């Protein structure tokens, strides 16, 4: 599990030894932040909100939503009026997903304790059984909220762009191709993902890592 900057440093050293091409990437990316989200409903909500928006937008939307709704309470989410979702900035699609998650938690179909103690594949399978949760969302939740150490969300556009640029590939690798490439970085693929998100930020000046700053003392940075 990744729970400290020391874990990231260990992973980076192993990656540099396993794939010397990454040494230049590590230098360009600079120091990697820990980036951890809360777990449970708040953590999954933050991952849903981070989809397809900038980090700044995700932070703002999550801040408004978490102030208006008790994100630790599935029934509170289920009882949230449409206008609160709109005020917070959630799209209709993200609203439907949040309601589906809250319903699954309320019925017991989604158990965050069970997910937290499961192996990565089992955790991803349980999460994606909920309508609206795709593989990317489940992988990012396992990576940032649970600290799994060997997950690479290959469907992430920023990771695809970063890997193509760093490895001088002729074109941006699609999900399947990037998953095959990332096999070389096991068992530290979560650190590799953090590395390429940081590299993407370095070359584009845009932070695309799917995390939010939930509270003043949050560990996302």
Residue-wise pLDDT tens digits, 123-140: 999 999 999 999 999 999
Q: What is the pLDDT of residues 88-119, one digit of tens each?
A: 999 999 999 999 999 999 999 999 999 999 99
Q: How far, in Å, CA of 63 to CA of 50, rounded?
A: 12
pLDDT of residue 130: 97
- % of the chain surpassing 70 pLDDT: 96
Summarised one tens digit per residue, pLDDT across range 49-65 is 998 888 889 999 999 99
User: What percent of the chain shows pLDDT beyond 90?
Assistant: 88
Same fold, 5-35+150-204 and 40-144: no
Q: What is the pLDDT of residue 213?
A: 67
**What is the DSSP code string of 38-106?**
--HHHHHHHHHHTTTS-HHHHHHHHHHHHHHS-TT-HHHHHT--HHHHHHHT--HHHHHHHHHHHHHHH
What CATH number is given for 5-35+150-204 in this structure? 1.10.1670.40
Name the strand (E) or helix (H) holding 154: none
CATH of 40-144, one of 3.90.1150.10, 3.30.70.2860, 1.10.340.30, 1.10.10.10: 1.10.340.30
CA dihedral 24, 152, 120, 53 (to 10 degrees): 120
Mean pLDDT of 205-211: 88
- Kindly list the domain boundaries of the chain, sorted by start residue: 5-35+150-204, 40-144
> Span 147-153, mean pLDDT?
97
Q: Tell me what pLDDT residue 214 has.
A: 56
Please compute Rg for the chain using Cα positions: 17
Structure tokens at 99: 């309601």
In this structure, are residues 41 and 210 in contact, taking their beta carbons and an 8 Å threshold? no
**Spatial CA neighbour of 135 closest among 119, 149, 153:** 153
Residue 82 contacts residue 51 (beta carbons within 8 Å): no
């Amino acid at each position: 599990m990744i729970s400290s900057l020391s874990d990231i440093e260990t992973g980076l050293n192993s990656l540099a030894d396993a794939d010397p091409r990454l040494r230049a990437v590590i230098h360009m990316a600079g120091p990697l932040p820990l980036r951890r989200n809360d777990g449970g409903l708040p953590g999954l909500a933050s991952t849903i909100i981070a989809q397809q928006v900038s980090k700044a937008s995700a932070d703002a939307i999550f801040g408004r939503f978490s102030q208006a709704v008790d994100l630790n309470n599935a029934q509170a989410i289920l009882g949230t009026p449409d206008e609160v979702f709109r005020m917070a900035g959630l799209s209709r699609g993200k609203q439907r997903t949040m309601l589906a998650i809250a319903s699954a938690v309320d019925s017991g179909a989604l158990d965050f304790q069970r997910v937290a103690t499961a192996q990565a594949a089992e955790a991803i399978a349980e999460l994606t059984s909920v309508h609206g949760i795709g593989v990317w969302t489940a992988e990012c939740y396992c990576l940032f909220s649970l600290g799994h150490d060997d997950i690479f969300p290959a469907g992430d556009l920023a990771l695809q762009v970063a890997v193509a640029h760093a490895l001088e590939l002729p074109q941006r690798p699609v999900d399947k191709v990037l998953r095959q490439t990332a096999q070389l970085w096991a068992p530290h693929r979560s650190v590799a993902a953090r590395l390429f998100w940081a590299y993407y930020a370095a070359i584009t000046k845009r932070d695309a890592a799917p995390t939010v700053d939930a509270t003043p003392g949050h560990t996302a940075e």
